[in-house]
């Protein structure tokens, strides 16, 4: 069985970008082998077997399976479908409008071996430039050598398959917005930090892919508002206090303005909230159950709460202990111990390695 499942969520109309991704994966060395899983997150009427066979020809190196999510084709539903299709100990979610470059998977695997993190992201650059797209420097973070502890907001997220199952997968109430934000929060509260490796392999993000549900979906404002309401209710962030101050500030300054634009007004906001009341009523029992569940988490981080040094000092020992079982499932113990020693040796020799090292060269469009 391959050690890695590399999975992308896509929809019809983005095949050109998906093909670029698969062709870039052919350039990758994947430790322990890889299997590519493509999930179409929208019903299509075409010959499904023909669609799969066509996509399989785009990769000359790795086996490719194609699935069609007709059950719950929301983004949250699609993410859980991807997770449930993974049979390997390691899983890597990657967006269909990205390409992968450099020694990405060896970098991710070495990071998972040596850093006590539950979810690892990689640098992404804007198109054919050396402009860093994610992680953004404006996002609160803590640096530890070449790892940056902070939320991993999509693009690419690598983790242990069983760990994601054990923490509950993706929240089904994050239908079209916020599924990665909520999963990051739940991982931190469960004792598994998240962050980006800032050296080695990287992504390029090609922003012109059509029909993006995260950028130009009709009704986007209500989807964002729904995610914010669920977050406040599920994580006891309804009241404004010192712990929830960041959440409410971002709601006011970023997310509402970002979603409603020039149409933001008290009247429009109230109308949008009232439109969500029936859905909120239907989901109330699950929200209440989930709120009781998260109250039992070992760490009480609030939504968007900046992580401080003292917080990290408390979480890391917990993560080191509890990640052992996932690492032992992934790598045989003798091999793991030998590789971990080598990884630590390489890591400590890189302490003076600057974050800017490894800035990728520009790639001509025909080389994508």
163 and 272 part of one domain: no
pLDDT digits (tens, 9 = 90+) for 222-249: 999 999 999 999 999 999 888 899 999 9
Of 315, 35, 341, the closest CA to residue 189 belongs to: 315
Where is pLDDT greater, at 343 or 250?
250
Question: What CA–CA distance (Å, rounded) separates 55 from 309?
Answer: 46
- Is pLDDT above 60 for 353? no
- Residue 156 host element (H or E): strand 156-160
How many helices and strands, by DSSP H and E, does the chain display? 13, 13
Residue 254 lies in a domain: yes
207 and 225 part of one domain: no
CATH number for the domain spanning 178: value is 3.90.550.10
Q: Is 124 helix (H, G, I), strand (E, B) or coil?
A: strand
Q: Which of 274, 294, 314 is the last residue of a domain?
A: 294
Which pLDDT belongs to residue 352?
A: 47
111 and 156 part of one domain: yes
172 and 32 part of one domain: yes
Highest mean pLDDT among 40-44, 216-220, 298-302, 328-332: 298-302
Which pLDDT belongs to residue 346?
A: 53
Q: Report the pLDDT averaged over residues 95-111.
A: 97
* Average pLDDT of the chain to the nearest whole number: 89
- Is pLDDT above 80 for 325? yes
pLDDT band at 357 (very low <50, low <70, confident <90, very high): very low
Residue 126 lies in a domain: yes
Q: Which of 268, 294, 320 is the last residue of a domain?
A: 294
Which pLDDT belongs to residue 172?
A: 94
* Contact indicator for 76, 168 with CB cutoff of 8 Å: no
- Tell me which residue range forms the domain holding 100: 4-212+356-367
Residue 311 lies in a domain: no
255 and 154 part of one domain: no
pLDDT digits (tens, 9 = 90+) for 122-152: 999 999 999 999 998 888 899 988 899 999 9
Residues near 220 by Cβ (< 8 Å), separated by ≥ 6? 176, 177, 259
pLDDT band at 274 (very low <50, low <70, confident <90, very high): very high
Number of domains into which the chain is organized: 2
Residue 71 lies in a domain: yes
Q: Tell if the pTM clears 0.85, that is, is over it.
A: yes
Which pLDDT belongs to residue 355?
A: 45
Residues near 216 by Cβ (< 8 Å), separated by ≥ 6? none
């Amino acid at each position: 069985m391959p050690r890695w499942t590399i999975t992308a969520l896509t929809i019809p109309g983005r095949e050109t970008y998906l093909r670029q991704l698969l062709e870039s994966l052919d350039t990758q060395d994947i430790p322990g082998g890889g299997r590519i899983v493509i999930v179409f997150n929208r019903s299509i009427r075409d010959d499904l077997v023909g669609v799969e066979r066509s996509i399989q020809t785009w990769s000359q190196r790795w086996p490719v399976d194609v699935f069609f999510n007709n059950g719950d084709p929301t983004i949250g539903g699609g993410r859980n479908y991807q997770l449930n299709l993974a049979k390997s100990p390691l899983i890597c979610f990657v967006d269909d409008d990205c390409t992968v470059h450099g020694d990405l998977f060896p970098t991710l695997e070495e990071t998972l071996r040596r850093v006590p993190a539950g979810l690892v992201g990689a640098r992404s650059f804007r198109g054919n430039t050396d402009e860093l797209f994610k992680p953004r420097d404006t996002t609160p973070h803590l640096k530890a050598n070449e790892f940056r502890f902070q939320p991993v907001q999509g693009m690419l997220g690598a983790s242990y398959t069983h760990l994601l199952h054990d923490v509950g997968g993706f929240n089904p109430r994050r239908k079209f917005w916020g599924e990665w934000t909520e999963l990051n929060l739940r991982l931190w509260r469960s004792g598994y930090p998240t962050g980006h490796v800032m050296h080695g392999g990287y992504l390029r993000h090609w922003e012109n892919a059509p029909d993006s549900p995260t950028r130009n979906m009709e009704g986007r404002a209500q989807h964002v508002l729904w995610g914010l309401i669920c977050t406040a209710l599920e994580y006891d962030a309804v009241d404004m206090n010192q712990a929830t101050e960041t959440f409410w500030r971002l709601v006011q300054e970023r997310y509402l303005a970002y979603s409603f634009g020039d149409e933001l007004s008290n009247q429009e906001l109230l109308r949008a909230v009232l439109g969500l009341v029936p859905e909120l009523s239907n989901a109330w029992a699950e929200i209440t159950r989930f709120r009781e569940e998260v109250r039992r988490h070992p760490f009480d981080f609030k939504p968007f709460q900046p992580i401080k040094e003292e917080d990290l000092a408390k979480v890391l020992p917990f993560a080191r202990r509890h990640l052992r079982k996932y690492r032992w499932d992934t790598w045989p113990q003798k091999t793991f111990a030998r590789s971990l020693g080598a990884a630590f040796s390489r890591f400590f020799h890189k302490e003076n390695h600057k974050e800017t090292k490894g800035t990728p060269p520009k790639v001509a469009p025909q080389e994508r």
